[in-house]
Structure formats: structure tokens, C-alpha cells
Amino acid sequence: MGIIGFAAGVTLFVDSLFPGPLRIADGWLAVAFLVLMVTWGAMILAVRRRREDDGSPVSAHSLLTALPLWVKTGLTVLGLLMVFYFLVFLGTSEGSPSQTADGYAVMEHGDLVRTISESEYHRLRSAERRVLLGFVLTGYAVIAAVAFASRTKYRVESD
């Protein structure tokens, strides 16, 4: 299921890189988020079943130390890039692009900030989607790293 959510996130992200209107409906963004939450929960339950050699539960610290350096570096770079991109987006965003009866506008809490062209509307919607998908894809990267670490280092508790 995590692979489906990750594929949806990557597909939506790639769609937002092309100029013009978004080709994939926003409903798929909700699918990527929902699958992420379900996958995150399943990962937590799976890790709770893992045991150290002495039979004690696995700690977050031991999972982090089990990751190879290249995975830790990749997650750190991805996380910092996502935070940087989010902060830049917040600093440059005037509001949310919307379609109105008169055309296209940027709205902030229901108030009109300014009117915009159709091409600017599509550009701003793509930027919003990329920021949201940064969180989704980083979440899937963390899940993959934890699954990798717990699978390679720890045994499953037998019932």
C-alpha cells in the first residue's frame, strides 16, 4: 500500500513540474496523504513487534544507528530541502490562488489580495502542490528508511 501512495505522490509532483494547468485532480493528493497515514501506522505497529537480541523492544535510537550513513545523509538533505522550500514558499506567498466569477485571484482568508492571469493561477497552484507533496514524499522516505533499518537488523517477535 505504501508503494501505491508513494507512486501517487511522485506522479502528482511530476505533474506539478510541467507548465500550464494541473492534469491530475486534487483528489489524488488526498489519496497520497491518506495512504501515508495508514502506512505510517502500519510501520509503527511493525516496528513495535521487532526485538533487540536480548528480547527488549527496539528503540528509535537503535533504529537510527542501524541506518547506513548514505541513508541518514539523504534523509537529512531531503528534510532540510523540504523545510527550506516550505519557508521560501511561505515568505513569497500572498495567499491561495482561486477561481472567481470574474476570473482568477489570490485570496487570503476569503479577502481578495489581487487579480491574476490564468497562467499565474496555474503556476501558483503548481507551487502549492509541490510544497504539500514535499511533506508526503519525505514521510514516505522516512517510512522506507525505518523499514529498511528494522528489517535488516532486528528479528520479529514470535507469537
Q: Determine the Cα–Cα distance for residues 148 and 159; give it in Å rounded to an integer.
A: 22
Confirm if 7 and 15 have CB atoms less than 8 A apart: no
**Which residues lie closer than 8 Å to 56 by C-beta, 6 or more apart?**
none
Q: What is the mean pLDDT of residues 120-137?
A: 85
Strand partners, 51: 57, 155
Helix orientation angle between 27-49 and 2-17, rounded to the nearest 10 degrees: 140
Residue 110, phi then psi, degrees to nearest 5: 85, -5
- Percent residues over pLDDT 70 in the chain: 89
157 pLDDT exceeds 70? no
131 pLDDT exceeds 80? yes
Could you report the per-residue pLDDT of 52-101, keeping only the tens digit for each?
667 777 777 777 777 778 888 888 888 888 888 888 888 878 888 888 88
Whole-model pTM: value is 0.67
Number of domains in the chain: 1
**Domain range for 100:** 2-156
Q: What is the pLDDT of residue 102?
A: 85
Q: What is the pLDDT of residue 2?
A: 66
For residues 51-64, b (16+ Cβ closer than 10 Å) or e, as one string?
eeeeeeebeeebbe
Q: What is the pLDDT of residue 48?
A: 72
